[in-house]
Structures are given as C-alpha cells and as structure tokens.
Amino acid sequence: MSKAIKFCLLYRDMWQSSGKYVPRVDQLSKVAQPIIDMGCFARVETNGGGFEQINLLFGENPNKAVREWTQPFNDVGIQTQMLERALNGIRMNPVPADIRQLMFRVKKAQGTDISRSFDGLNDVRNLENSITFANEEGMVSQAALSVTDSEVHTVDYYIDLADQLINLGAQEICIKDMAGIGRPVSLGKIVKGIKEAHPDTLIQYHGHSGPGFSVASILEVARAGAGIIDVAMEPLSWGTGHADLLTVHAMLKDAGFEVPDINMKAYMEVRSLTQSFVDDFLGYYINPKNRHMNSLLIGPGLPGGMMGSLMADLENNLKSLNKWMTKRDKPTISQDELLIKLFEEVEFIWPKMGYPPLVTPYSQYVKNVALMNVMQVFKGKERWSMIDDNTWDLLIGRSGKLPGTLADELIEMANKLGKEFYTGVPQDLYPDALDEVRKDMQSLGWDLGEDEEELMEYAMHPEQYRAYKSGQAKENFEKDLALKKQETFPAPASKQSQAQSQVATQPSKMNIEVNGEKFLVHISYDNEVTPSVNGTTPVSKPQEISSNSLVKEIIAPLEGNFMLTKNAGDKAIQVGDEVNEGDIIGYIEAMKVYNAIAADKAGKVVEICATNGSAIEEDDVIIKLQ
C-alpha cells in the first residue's frame, strides 16, 4: 500500500512571504468555506507570527479575527495551526513566562489546534516552556528545527536537536526550511535519522521556494518519512513564498504516494478570491520582485517570510538614503544596487555574528544590521555604528546560545559599551509580569476580554495595542494606503501644490553656531503654514531664538514609527522632564525591531514633536530641549 501524504495550506504565511500584510477578517471569513470545499487540506495555518500585529496595524481586533477565522475549520475537523517564536512568543523580543503561558491558553480557547514553536537559535532551553505550555493546554506541540546551511549546522546537529525536543515532550517535528536553502539530500537524511529513532513521530515539512530547492526537497523528505507538506497556491505560490499545491500534488502522485483529490472548482474560487484581496489593497504592499524565484538568495540565506516585508521596507530605506545623497550632491543608487549590497553584507557579517539561523526574529536582526552597515558606509561612516538593543541581546547571549563564535571586533565593542555576556537560561532574565500588566489595563478601564485574550494581546504588543485602542493605528494605516494609491495613480498637480513646490525649494533648516555650540534651526517664511509631522499632530512654530534661550533638537537617526515606550508599564518622557546626554527618550520601530533613541544632548523637554506611533523620517525632529 502506498504511503499517504497530507497537505497544510499556509494561508497566513503565503501572504506575509509575499508582502507586508494579510487580509482583513471579513476577507478571511469569505475565503474559509471555499478552502474547506477544496477537500485536500488536513491543516490550515490560520494565525501566529505577525498575524496579530498586522490586525492591530489595521485597527482590527486580532482576537475577533482569530476566532472568526478558525471557527469554520474547527467545525469540519480541519486542524488549525499557528506559529510562535518560543522565548519571543508572538512578538519580536522576549516575553515573560507567565505571558507566554497565557498565550497558549488563549490560543487553544480561540480554536487553534497546533502550536508550531521554533527558536531562532535552536536553543532547546527556549523551546522547553513552549512544549510544556502547549501540552498543558491541550494543544498539539510541534517543535520546529530552524534549518540553515553553515559549517556548524550539520545533519547530525539537526537529528540530535530533534531527539532532545521529542524527549522534552514535543508531539511532532517540523523541518522549518525558512529560507529554502536546505539542500534536498541533506534534508532527506535529517528526516530519515529522526524517523529511525522516533518512528511514530509525525514530521511536517515547511520550505520556501525562493532559491529553487523546495520541490526537490519535498520529494526527498516525503521519501524519507515526512507525513505532511506545507504548500501555497496561486496567486501567491512560488517566489519568496512556497511551492504550489498543484505542482507538489502531481509530483507526489507520480512518485507513488497517496494524495487527496482536489476540488478544482473550489480551487478556482479560492484563487479568484485571493486575487481579489490583492486587487483590493494588499497588492500595494507586495513588491513584484517577491513573485520571482531568485537563486541569489542561496548566498545570504534570507528567509522567504522576511523577504515580503523586506522589499516593502527597502523602498522606504532607498528613498531615505537617496534623499540624504541628493542633499549632499552625491549620486543616488537603484533598488537593485541596494539589494545586492545588502545580500553581500549579510554574507559578510553572518559568520561574525555567530551563525544565528536566519529566521524570525534573528533574520531581521542580521538583515537590519547589514542594511544599516550598508547605509552608514554610503554616508561615510563605520560598520556596526547602529546596532539595536534586541540585536545586542542576541550577541551577548540574552536570547540564547549562538551556534557559532562571535567575532573579536564585536566582543571588543560590547566590552567598550559595558555590555555583560550571559550564559544562563534566557527566560530567567525576563521575570513574570502578567499581574502588573493586568493592573495597568484595569487602571485604564480596559476589558480583559473573553478568556483574558485582550490582556494577552496588550501584554504581547503594548504600544501597538494602545495605538489600536486610540484609533491611531487605523488612521495611520488608512493614510499610508491612500498614499500608496496616490503613488500608483497620481493626481494632476494643482496650482496650490505647484506653489508649495516652489516654497519647498527655499531652505527650511539652517545650522547656526552660538558660543561654539552648533544648533539646527527651522526657518519660517511669511504666509507659510506650519506643517504637521507626517500628517499626524500639528507642531507649534519654533519660538524666536535668542542666545539666552536656545532650543536644542534631538533628531531621528532613521525612519520608522516613533514609540515613547517599549513595554507596558514603562514611563514615557513628558514636557518638563530633564534629559541627560545618553538617556533613552523613545524608540523608533523600524524593520520589526525597536531602536532605542539616546539623547545626544542634555536639557529640559519643552516639546515632544512626534506623536506616539506616528511615522517619522530620518532627520525629523523628535524632541526639543532648552
């Protein structure tokens, strides 16, 4: 009798691997029944990863979205699957253990059957709690091996890793080939080795298609004993996404495997609905390059799930860099030039950073450092001059043990900055905090939600949740979408816009020097309307500056979303506070990480120019001091 192979549809990841966002809850609810009618899926990936954060960015309630989206699959017995990041839960930085435990309880109550847990460093200590909490809450605990290709990531390394995770209680193993750079034969050997030691353990394969290995890898792991294959479908298969259902189905059937029949009428309906979501608004955030296979990805090994958002972010970084270059009469660069420079820099710095597998969040950390290095070098500055706090935590051991050895230059830099290396259990660094978060919510008069799901969401994503509750998130998203549409279908220039263009040619800033100290001063002209900061909150006109009352400005070093605080309960700076040089005055969330902004001068806060959660550009004024 031929071996049966089952399929899991990655309806969350195929969106996030293509672009920046996933469909709204009304769209997800519309496509659920046709997916069921296809009749070929044993599992559907419904949530996890960045799903909840994206709902918050839309101004949607993420818990309502998860419940409505999972219910139709629950009703017919199709298992629902989520993705979580072990120590980081469903966010990009570490989470206290009690908040992690609440997440599993909430997700089970919301209708999620399987928790696929991975640690970006493959540190078993970080995965132990995930396995324990999933089992305690009645979920299927699936532990993932984050696959990459390096001198330390061998076949025996992964077989031993799976053995440790199964002994800790993992019910299933996922081969998570997040960049699609796992070599097919080696992947087959990994699966075979696991099955020989644990013949009853189900193995599920997840592989991105970008570099072109994934179809061969699927055949190899199926022959070696994998039982479930993750797939995507048109119009979002291939490229930085995943192999297409129809291709994998035909290949495995020809190879003699038993595969379920596909209802092609329902398939075409899902395909059509998915395309309609692209056409509605999601396509504005999908870079066409993400729909292409690209063997250049073999070198840097960047994951498909990150490439979707990377290309969207890269457009903004390119604009920012070229704006800087133009101001200084330097030649601008193209997106392809920046992308190749980025790929080369990732290959260069990855070994120096200790070979962390390039999977969320560490793929973002390595990519962000690489991108910042490239941009700083273009600006005549040194490598490593902008490393965010989360990346430093990775480098000094606070996120887990690096697979490789940290470069001497980074060790020396850490020592100079007074950073202490850590070799203990990472979770111990992040004490329980749920009671404090609960008190904070209650003081704000906010409902904890059914099964305390709103408490979990606020604890996981405090700043994004505040922006959602205030309506600022929805307002920001709608403005951004309107801008995307305007860029795609620009309106004819009006007389007013032409006049504004003429004004824009006049200088708006000037550096002046008083008593040997340099200051950046804004210049206003007669009849000029004081602008707003990125269309959010109006900024008062600068007061007349005298030598006795100079206003000093703290400038944004990069573009992103400005956040006053990073965690629930943190105290934000206020007008009237005294700031010392080196104090953290806020954060810029860029490329999925928080970059701490340190004051480069001291003084009393007289104005906070950027609103919490607002988009800001490099060189925008954040804080004014006197």
Cβ-contact 115, 140 below 8 angstroms: yes
The confidence band for 537, taking pLDDT boundaries of 50, 70 and 90, is: very low
Provide the pLDDT confidence category of residue 259 given band limits of 50, 70 and 90. Answer: very high
**pLDDT (average), residues 492-518:** 47
Read out DSSP for 526-538?
TTPPPPBSTTSSB
pLDDT at 308: 58
Q: Is residue 144 part of a domain?
A: no
Q: What is the pLDDT of residue 165?
A: 98
pLDDT the model gives residue 531? 37
Residue 573 has pLDDT above 60, yes or no: yes
pLDDT computed for residue 501 by the predictor? 39
Beta-carbon-side half-sphere exposure of residue 239 (alpha carbons within 13 Å): 26
> pLDDT tens digits for 421-445?
999 999 999 999 999 999 999 999 9
**DSSP letter for each residue of 489-525:** SPPPPPHHHHHHHHHHTS--EEEEEETTEEEEEE---
Domain-located, residue 561: yes
In a domain, 605, yes or no: yes
Decide if 173 contacts 204 (C-beta within 8 A). yes
* The total number of structural domains that make up the chain: 1
> Which tens digit of pLDDT belongs to each residue from 211-255?
999 999 999 999 999 999 999 999 999 998 999 999 999 999 999
Per-residue model confidence as pLDDT tens digits over 385-413: 888 888 999 999 999 999 999 999 999 99
Question: pLDDT tier at 206 (50, 70, 90 boundaries)?
Answer: very high
Q: What is the pLDDT of residue 542?
A: 42
Report the pLDDT averaged over residues 578-596. Answer: 79
Grade residue 503 by pLDDT with cuts at 50, 70 and 90: very low
Distance CA 332, CA 86 (A): 41
pLDDT at res. 298: 78
Question: Would residue 304 count as lying in a domain?
Answer: no
CA–CA separation, 178 and 196 (whole Å):
24
Q: How many CB atoms lie within 10 A of CB 271?
A: 16
Q: Is residue 188 scored above 90 in pLDDT?
A: yes
Q: Cα–Cα distances in Å, from 332 out to 372, 542, 556, 574, 620?
A: 17, 32, 21, 39, 21
Q: CA 594, CA 88: separation in Å to the nearest integer?
A: 14
Q: Is 132 helix (H, G, I), strand (E, B) or coil?
A: helix
| Minimum mean pLDDT range among 42-51, 165-174, 190-199, 498-507 | 498-507
d(CA 46, CA 445) in angstroms, rounded, equals 31
Tell me if 340 is assigned to some domain: no
Per the structure block, which two tokens stand in for 534? 């990125």
Query: How far is the C-alpha of 110 from the C-alpha of 107, rounded, in Å?
Result: 5
Of 214, 220, 246, nearest to 233 (Cα)?
246
Where is pLDDT greater, at 75 or 178?
75
Residue 518 sits in a domain of what CATH number?
Answer: 2.40.50.100
CA angle 556/317/472 to nearest 5° reads 60
pLDDT at 333 over 50: yes
Query: Which pLDDT score is estimated for 526?
Result: 44
pLDDT at residue 322, as a whole number: 86
- 3-state SS assignment for residue 71: helix
Q: Are 88 and 117 in contact (CB under 8 A)?
A: no
Task: Indicate whether 455 belongs to any domain.
Answer: no
- Between the alpha carbon of residue 399 and those of residues 120, 246, 361, 391, the distances in Å are 9, 39, 11, 9
Q: Which two tokens stand for residue 410?
A: 């980074």
More confident residue, 583 or 3: 3
The share of the chain scoring above pLDDT 70, in percent, equals 87
DSSP tag of 182:
S
Going by pLDDT thresholds of 50, 70 and 90, the confidence category of residue 504 is: very low
Question: Does the pLDDT of residue 125 top 50, yes or no?
Answer: yes
Of 57-61, 148-152, 262-266, 531-535, the one with minimum mean pLDDT is 531-535
Residues 6-32 have a mean pLDDT of 94
Query: Cβ distance 234 to 271 under 8 Å?
Result: yes
For residue 93, the 8-state DSSP code is S
Q: Is 508 or 429 the better-scoring residue by pLDDT?
A: 429
496 CB-side CA count, 13 A: 3
Three-state SS for 94? Answer: coil
Report pLDDT for 437: 96
Number of CB atoms found within 10 A of residue 149's CB: 15
Structural contact between residues 456 and 102, judged by C-beta atoms closer than 8 angstroms:
yes
3-state secondary structure of 162: helix
CA gyration radius for the chain?
Answer: 25
- What pLDDT was estimated at residue 364? 83
Overall average pLDDT of the 573-602 stretch: 81
What torsion, rounded to 10 degrees, do the Cα atoms 434, 439, 440, 445 define?
Answer: 130
**Spatial contact of 235 and 19, defined as CB atoms under 8 Å apart:** no
Rounded to whole angstroms, the Cα distance separating 97 from 110 reads 20
Helix 51-58 crosses helix 62-76 at what angle (to 10 degrees)?
130
> Which tokens belong to 65?
């979205």
Among 53-57, 196-200, 285-289, name the most confident range: 196-200
pLDDT number for residue 534: 35
167 within domain boundaries:
no
Above pLDDT 90, what percent of the chain? Answer: 57
Domain that holds residue 601: 509-625
First-to-last CA distance in the chain?
A: 80
Mean pLDDT of the chain: 87
CA 478, 484, 490, 493 dihedral sign is: positive
* C-alpha span between 166 and 298 (Å, rounded): 30
Cα→Cα distances 579→12, 40, 551, 554, 616, Å? 43, 60, 13, 11, 21
Say whether 327 sits in a helix, a strand or coil.
helix
Q: Which two tokens stand for residue 551?
A: 């206003």
Angle ∠(395,401,405) on CA atoms, nearest 5: 65
**Average pLDDT of the residues in 313-320:** 78
Residue 266 in domain: no
pLDDT, average across residues 157-175: 98
Burial code (b: 16+ CB inside 10 Å, e: under 16) for 543-552 equals eeeeeeebbb
